[in-house]
């Protein structure tokens, strides 16, 4: 969308951050940091009328104006990758992403991604996310299965992004963890930022961005191999690795999580046991509330069956 302007206010927790990092973390349109950098280098980011550089350090009362550049032609190849399209119309699609599928191309992954599959199966995708992320309003980790909403045009993208930013989107996950929570229902409200040493990880930190998750215990197995719990997780924010970090910080690592669980290899699972099972939002054109539910993936169900057999002595 040409000449569209997005305004992003600074926050106290982001003071002194580099501009490119701050915008990539806070822009509701799901721009990659490389795309943000490209916009900055084109002189399309300003504050108070002053064009800024990527190295600019954020101040408390800053309000940044981002002028979206003229759209580039997509140069990604459609691929006939099996895709479960739960719903679609002329504005949006809801898909049930399989575990193991990377959402968008990046270093070392220019094909075999969800984007390649979307280009094959859908008849249109928004361009606001840049040429590497057409249609992507939010994302799931590679090994996380479940529901995602896709924008098929730029107006839909802007509306959905606004709903995510205002936290009116309902997002519920199912997780299977080692251990048992002390209470049946509780809220984790810890700030999260990238780990200062291990850059592929996130960590709880007082300097991070606020992340809020509500945890409800659905089932507990006390087996000979230990205690396991099936959890319903409702998230109110969408930070990177939020559920995985929050549960790990409570001593409840997700089974099969090779990043946040030291015993992940013990269970010989292809993917971690985390799935997006419910997604609710307002249709970007009609305004109607839309609610979607998904079944747990096969590898998840098989592990539950194994726990049930263990509990029964089989």
For the CA atoms of 103, 108, 111, 114, what is the dihedral angle to 10 degrees? 0
Task: State residue 142 phi and psi, 5-degree precision.
Answer: -50, -45
Is 141 designated active site?
yes
Task: Give the C-alpha separation, 314 to 309, whole Å.
Answer: 5
Angle of CA points 82, 85, 86, to nearest 5°: 140
Catalytic residue among 20, 141, 143, 154: 141
CA distances from 286 to 157, 163, 254 (A): 14, 14, 38
Residue 30, CB-side half-sphere exposure with 13 Å CA sphere: 32
Contacts of 227 (CB under 8 A, 6+ apart): 178, 179, 180, 220, 221
Do strands 185-194 and 170-178 pair parallel, antiparallel, or not at all (unpaired)? unpaired
Helix (H/G/I), strand (E/B), else coil: 120: helix
Task: Give the C-alpha separation, 169 to 35, whole Å.
Answer: 25
Q: Tell which residue, 114, 139, 207, 216, has the closest CA to residue 174.
A: 216
Indicate which residues carry an active-site annotation. 141
């Amino acid at each position: 969308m040409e000449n569209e302007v997005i305004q992003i206010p600074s926050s106290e927790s982001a003071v002194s951050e580099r501009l490119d990092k701050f915008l990539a973390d806070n822009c509701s349109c799901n721009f990659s940091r490389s795309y943000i950098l490209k916009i900055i280098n084109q002189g399309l980011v300003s504050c108070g009328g002053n064009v800024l550089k990527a190295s600019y350090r954020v101040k408390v009362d800053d309000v940044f104006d981002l002028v979206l550049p003229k759209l580039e032609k997509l140069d990604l190849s459609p691929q006939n990758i099996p895709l479960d399209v739960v719903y679609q119309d002329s504005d949006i699609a809801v898909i049930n992403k399989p575990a193991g599928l990377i959402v968008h191309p990046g270093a070392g992954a220019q094909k075999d991604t969800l984007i390649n599959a979307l280009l094959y199966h859908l008849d249109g995708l928004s361009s606001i996310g840049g040429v590497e992320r057409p249609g992507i309003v939010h994302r799931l980790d590679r090994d996380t299965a479940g529901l995602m909403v896709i924008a098929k045009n730029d107006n839909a993208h802007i509306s959905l992004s606004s709903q995510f930013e205002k936290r009116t989107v309902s997002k519920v996950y199912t997780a299977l963890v080692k251990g048992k929570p002390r209470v049946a229902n509780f809220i984790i409200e810890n700030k999260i930022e990238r780990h200062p040493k291990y850059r592929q990880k996130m960590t709880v930190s007082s300097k991070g961005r606020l992340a809020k998750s509500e945890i409800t215990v659905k089932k507990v197995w006390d087996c000979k191999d230990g205690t396991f719990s099936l959890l319903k997780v409702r998230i109110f924010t969408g930070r990177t690795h939020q559920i995985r970090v929050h549960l790990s910080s409570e001593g409840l690592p997700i089974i099969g999580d090779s990043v946040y669980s030291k015993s992940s290899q013990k269970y010989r699972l292809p993917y971690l046991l985390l799935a997006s099972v419910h997604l609710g939002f307002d249709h970007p054109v009609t305004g109607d509330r839309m609610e979607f539910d998904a079944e747990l993936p096969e590898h998840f169900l098989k592990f539950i069956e194994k726990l049930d057999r263990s509990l029964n002595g089989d």
